[in-house]
């Protein structure tokens, strides 16, 4: 026989285990050059700068 749990899991134990599965908001910073939204440690999609250093456009 399969599919039958051998131990009962209380609501609090299940809830405590599932509390770690929550999604976290991404941190959004403001570009120092153009003022647009940018993710940390990424190149700005509008002006192609990274910490006031201009990077060449990435070919598609």
Task: With a cut of 60, say whether residue 57 has pLDDT above it.
Answer: no
Decide if 56 is inside a domain: yes
pLDDT (mean) for 9-29: 93
Rounded distance between C-alpha atoms, residue 59 and residue 46, angstroms: 15
pLDDT of amino acid 9: 93
Decide if 57 is inside a domain: yes
Task: With a cut of 80, say whether residue 5 has pLDDT above it.
Answer: yes
Domain that holds residue 49: 26-60
Decide if 13 is inside a domain: no
Decide if 16 is inside a domain: no
Cβ(48)–Cβ(54) below 8 Å: yes
Rounded distance between C-alpha atoms, residue 31 and residue 50, angstroms: 8
Decide if 36 is inside a domain: yes
Average pLDDT of the residues of the chain: 85
Task: With a cut of 80, say whether residue 2 has pLDDT above it.
Answer: no
Cβ(33)–Cβ(47) below 8 Å: yes
């Amino acid at each position: 026989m399969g599919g039958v749990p051998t131990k009962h899991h209380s609501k609090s134990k299940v809830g405590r285990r599932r509390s770690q599965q929550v999604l976290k908001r991404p941190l959004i910073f403001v570009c120092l050059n153009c003022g647009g939204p940018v993710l940390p440690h990424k190149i700005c999609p509008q002006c192609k700068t990274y910490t006031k250093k201009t990077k060449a456009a990435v070919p598609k």
